[in-house]
Amino acid sequence: MPLALLILALSAFAIGTTEFVIMGLLPDVARSLSVSIPSAGWLISGYALGVAIGAPIMAVATASFPRKRALLLLMGIFIIGNILCAVATDYNFLMVARIITSLCHGAFFGIGSVVAASLVPENRKASAVALMFTGLTLANVLGVPLGTALGQVAGWQMPFWAVAVLGVLSLIGLWRVMPVGHDEEKTDIRAEIGQLRNAGLWAALATTMLFSAAVFALFTYVAPLLEDVTHVSPRTVTWTLFLIGLGLTVGNYIGGRLADWRLGTALTGIFLVLAVVGAIVRWTSPYLIPVEINLFLWALVSFAAVPGLQVNVMIFGKAAPNLVATLNIGAFNVGNALGAWVGGSVIGAGFGLQAVPLAAAVLALAALVAIRISLHFVQRAAGVTSEPVVAVA
């Protein structure tokens, strides 16, 4: 794998850390800025909405740029946004700074995944995308716990300074290591927008959204499930989240290999297993060891789908991959919000925390239906009845 892929992974690590680290710092932020915990929680929602809305806007805005230059610009916005977060002294300023930071997120992952796939031979494209997204999974395993610990010791602003430094290192790496050929490759804006007429693209995006909803319907409420149903301590919850992070990382690697092998078969199997493993959490949740094993396997299966989902969308954008790949990142974030809402609605309706895994399983089955529809469009476009060979621009 080229060194440029490692730089993209480092960039993904920095972006993933800045998105999620505030989850562990909410009490500190709320106290410091004199707001309630729910108000502080909007800093997470604001970032997610900024990604979903800003992703296509930034993709179009940078469409006339060579991909390398676009990545450098987006990383520059990321650095500025984190510095603004670090110097924020009131809630509104911090919210604006978080939204500014989020603007780079979707477009960077979208364009970056296209670049990652183009750096390797045809049969290793999904693995290359998986390597880049390994940075995002490692952000959950290492970046968020370490950032939370740093914020608790040195103040909640310090993690944003640390991430800004990582952003500078990524910027230098992208500038020095990214192949020159990518600096000459520009995007056809008309072709990009023209892809939005493709029904198969929207089926692929719906697949991503439903998958993400299935994951975050459960993931959002893992901590209260463990505390109120399994009856474990907050420290055990922290270690469980670390274990889940390991599962996400391993699953991301395995998923890249499976998608390189046979994309449609891999995603179909993953969604089916995700539904089963997720539903089983309903019955293992009262017991510590079984639920720990269950959640690790669930996390592994969850992120095994991520590389394939990105490649699945990129199939519909061979002539103009930047926008469609970026829209997929937006679909992930829309799914995050949808899943959290579904899980909260299940709890609010009186079904209890143990019903949340069942709701997540239903969403996984919906994603299974969506991927079969998406593959139908691929096969029809290719004029074949069997699963097509993956081809990414």
**Per-residue confidence (pLDDT) for residue 392, from 0 to 100:** 36
**Per-residue confidence (pLDDT) for residue 193, from 0 to 100:** 66
Greatest Cα pair distance in the chain? 61
Residues 269-285: tens digit of each pLDDT: 999 999 999 999 999 99
Residue 137 pLDDT more than 90? no
pLDDT confidence band for 388 (50 / 70 / 90): very low
Q: How far apart, in whole angstroms, are the C-alpha atoms of residue 382 and residue 194?
A: 19
**Per-residue confidence (pLDDT) for residue 386, from 0 to 100:** 41
CA angle 85-90-93, nearest 5°? 50
**Per-residue confidence (pLDDT) for residue 158, from 0 to 100:** 94
Residue 13 pLDDT more than 60? yes
Q: Which residues contact 96 (CB under 8 A, 6 or more apart)?
A: 84
Output the DSSP codes for 252-291.
HHHHHHHHHH-HHHHHHHHHHHHHHHHHHHHHHTTSHHHH
pLDDT confidence band for 190 (50 / 70 / 90): low
- Mean pLDDT in residue range 279-296: 94
- Mean pLDDT in residue range 146-152: 82
Residue 339 pLDDT more than 80? yes
Cβ atoms within 10 Å, residue 103: 21
Helix/strand/coil percentages in the chain, nearest 5: 85, 0, 15
- Mean pLDDT in residue range 115-139: 78
**Per-residue confidence (pLDDT) for residue 40, from 0 to 100:** 72
Q: Which residue has the higher pLDDT, 317 or 35?
A: 35
Q: Tell me the domains of the chain and their CATH numbers.
A: 1-187 (1.20.1250.20), 188-393 (1.20.1250.20)
E-state strands within the chain: none
